[in-house]
């Protein structure tokens, strides 16, 4: 008997309802309860329709877990058609989750947005990234951060967000991923995870469907500036190879990623208002997945690869926390500029590498900004000649170079070498990271073990700037018709929240079209 059939039979017996009267039965949510390890179990929330729901409620008055569900808000119900505006010029800069979902929502409404992307389409991008990992020479226009799908394509693929789904947009995004090839479990897992391998296929399928709806994708096409007529947007300047051109448009969605440093400079030159915002820097730590499983579950091998999320405070008062934890994943070389090196974490849907990694990061002041990131990345590149530098935690604390690893071998994508990671970081960052790891070791046994691996540097946790926009219209305060959007613009922090911001921007453009007639 499969999971759904078993749950339906169990619920029917528990509630005293004939099984054939439980219509449209579905698993709504599933979470793992590991509070009393090793006594671990799944908690399911299920939904169904029945002909006599009031009677079922009366017969189960003492069951506090049974209730009538409010009518679910459906995002699609708000997607009124705008085909009468199909010839309106709309350009979306960036094909990460924010840009992709902004364009998708517009295309569903009958519009024909043009999506420009500085990097390559997915098929070509994957080949380019794998070449970089083998050979070590970065393509500054197509890499782990730039290209179709954005930086999230080479990540853990988490799809959870603390934002409440009041308008149905979160559900719509998850359903879209499932429609284009993701596992249906995304719709009900408490911590949905798509995996980088599945996400690539989903994005390709999504692009092909959008093209059939009239959406145009221009790859290897770089934003170089916004054209203005009077006090609003009239076009976007682009560069394809050495050829410069202008694409006319009335609405410009700026869904750049958190690493688009050259774009930030161009916006500043054109007096588009932006400001520095807080971010964090640190290192990646790696453990054997079996050790994390044992610490989190009390057992190992019988359950999904265990995750963790922790926060603390350094002695200087700054926040320290784990970020982008990747169960069963890899540490990847995520460099975007020649002469600089940074790392990120990535997991496939199976989370089966045998190793767990996460960033341990420290908050830094907003004014530190891009140049602070660059300085750290250059230092990390120099100490390891462009390879990922690796150091045991015991030597990281003592400032020594490590040449002896245990069974905790680097699980990486890209070339790596032993190096003095601590020596390439500011002393205050090293101190705060060590304090964090020691604190977390009191919560997860073995987290601070001598053979915990330290890999550096994690410097792109979020965008260091925010492109200022109006709270209601979501347009730039500097230029009507320009819509800063997603993580790179400073309004999201992950795949799901960026996609939700893309939907919000698309909705505001639709409202503006209708208002202007």
pLDDT band at 107 (very low <50, low <70, confident <90, very high): very high
pLDDT at 408: 86
User: What is the predicted pLDDT for the residue at 345?
Assistant: 97
pLDDT at 403 over 70: no
Alpha carbon of residue 250 to chain centroid? 29
| 296 neighbors 37 (Cβ within 8 angstroms) | yes
Q: pLDDT (tens digit, 9 = 90+) per residue, 456-514?
A: 999 999 999 999 999 999 999 999 999 999 999 999 999 999 999 999 999 999 999 99
- In 3D space, the residue among 311, 296, 281 whose CA is nearest the CA of residue 33 turns out to be 296
Tokens 């613009």 correspond to 489
* Residue 369 CB-density burial (10 A; 0-12 exposed, 13-18 middle, 19+ buried): middle
pLDDT higher than threshold 70 for residue 101: yes
pLDDT exceeds cutoff 90 at 274:
yes
Query: Distance between CA 159 and CA 153 in Å, rounded?
Result: 12
Average pLDDT of the segment spanning 434-441: 98
Average pLDDT, the chain: 94
Mean pLDDT, residues 254-272? 96
pLDDT for the residue 401: 64
What pLDDT score does 238 carry? 98
DSSP 469: B
For 157-190, write each residue's pLDDT tens digit.
999 877 778 889 999 999 999 999 999 999 999 9
The pLDDT of residue 69? 84
SS (H, E, C) 358-383: EEEEEEECHHHHHHHHHHHHHHHHHH
pLDDT at 400 over 70: no
The pLDDT of residue 404 is 65
Span 357-380, mean pLDDT? 93
For residues 274 and 477, what is the distance between their CA atoms, to the nearest angstrom? 9
Q: What is the rounded CA–CA span in Å between residue 375 and residue 381? A: 10
Q: What local confidence, expressed as pLDDT, does residue 332 receive?
A: 98
Residues 435 and 312 sit within 8 Å (Cβ to Cβ): yes
- Tell me the pLDDT band of 1, cut-offs 50, 70 and 90: low
Q: Given a cut of 90, is residue 74 above it in pLDDT? A: no
Give, in order, the Cα–Cα distances in Å from 59 to each of 16, 26, 53, 66, 345: 8, 22, 10, 11, 50
Q: Would you state the pLDDT for residue 402?
A: 58
What confidence score (pLDDT) does residue 300 get?
Answer: 79
| Tens digits of residue pLDDT in 288-297 | 999 999 999 9
Span 434-459, average pLDDT: 96
Q: What is the DSSP letter of 31?
A: E
pLDDT on residue 2: 85
What pLDDT was estimated at residue 109? 96
pLDDT in the model for residue 368 = 78
pLDDT at position 405, please?
67
pLDDT at 91 over 80: yes
Ramachandran region, residue 157 (left: φ > 0; alpha: ψ -120 to 50; beta: rest): left
Rounded to whole angstroms, the Cα distance separating 346 from 362 reads 21
Q: What is the pLDDT of residues 311-340, one digit of tens each?
A: 999 999 999 999 999 999 999 999 999 999
Percent of the residues in the chain that have a pLDDT greater than 70, as a whole number: 99
């Amino acid at each position: 008997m499969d999971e759904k059939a078993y749950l339906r039979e169990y619920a029917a017996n528990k509630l005293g309802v004939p099984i054939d009267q439980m219509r449209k039965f579905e698993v709504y949510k599933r979470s793992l309860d590991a509070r009393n390890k090793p006594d671990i179990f799944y908690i399911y929330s299920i939904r169904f329709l029945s002909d006599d729901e009031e009677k079922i409620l009366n017969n189960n008055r003492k069951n506090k877990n049974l209730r009538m569900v409010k009518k679910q808000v459906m995002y699609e119900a708000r997607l009124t058609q705008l085909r009468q505006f199909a010839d309106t010029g709309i350009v979306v800069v960036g094909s990460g989750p924010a840009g992709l979902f902004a364009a998708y929502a517009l295309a569903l409404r009958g519009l024909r947005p043009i999506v420009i992307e500085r990097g390559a389409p997915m098929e070509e991008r994957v080949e380019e990234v794998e070449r970089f990992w083998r050979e070590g020479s970065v393509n500054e226009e197509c890499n782990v951060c730039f290209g179709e799908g954005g930086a999230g394509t080479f990540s853990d693929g988490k799809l959870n967000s603390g934002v409440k789904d009041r308008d149905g947009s979160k559900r719509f995004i998850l359903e879209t991923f499932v429609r284009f090839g993701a596992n249906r479990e995304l719709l009900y897992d408490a911590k949905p995870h798509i995996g980088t391998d599945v996400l690539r296929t989903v994005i390709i399928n999504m692009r092909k469907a959008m093209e059939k709806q009239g959406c145009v994708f221009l790859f290897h096409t770089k934003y170089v500036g916004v054209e203005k007529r009077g006090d609003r947007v009239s076009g976007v300047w682009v560069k394809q190879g050495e050829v410069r051109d202008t694409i006319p448009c009335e609405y410009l969605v700026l869904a750049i990623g958190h690493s688009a440093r050259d774009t930030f400079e161009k916006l500043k030159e054109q007096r588009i208002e932006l400001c520095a915002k807080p971010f964090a820097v640190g290192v990646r730590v790696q453990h054997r997945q079996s050790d994390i499983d044992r610490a989190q579950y009390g057992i190992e091998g019988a359950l999904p690869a265990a995750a963790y999320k922790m926060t603390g405070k350094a002695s200087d008062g700054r926040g320290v926390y784990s970020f982008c934890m990747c169960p069963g994943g890899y540490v990847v070389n995520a460099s975007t500029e020649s002469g600089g090196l940074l790392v990120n974490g990535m997991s496939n849907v199976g989370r089966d590498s045998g190793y767990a990694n996460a960033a341990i990061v420290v908050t830094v002041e907003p004014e530190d900004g891009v140049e602070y990131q660059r300085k750290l990345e250059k230092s990390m590149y120099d100490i390891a000649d462009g390879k990922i530098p690796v150091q045991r935690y015991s030597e990281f604390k003592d400032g020594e170079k490590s040449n002896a690893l245990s069974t905790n071998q680097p699980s990486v994508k890209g070339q790596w070498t032993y190096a003095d990671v601590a020596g390439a970081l500011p002393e205050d960052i090293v101190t705060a990271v060590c304090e964090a790891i020691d604190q977390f070791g009191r919560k997860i046994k073995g987290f601070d073990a001598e053979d915990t691996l330290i890999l550096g540097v994690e410097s792109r946790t979020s965008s260091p700037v925010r492109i200022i926009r109006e709270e209601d219209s979501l347009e730039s305060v500097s230029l009507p018709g320009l819509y800063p959007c997603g993580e790179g613009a400073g309004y999201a922090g992950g795949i799901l929240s960026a996609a939700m911001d893309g939907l919000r921007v698309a909705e505001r453009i639709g409202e503006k079209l209708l208002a202007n007639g």
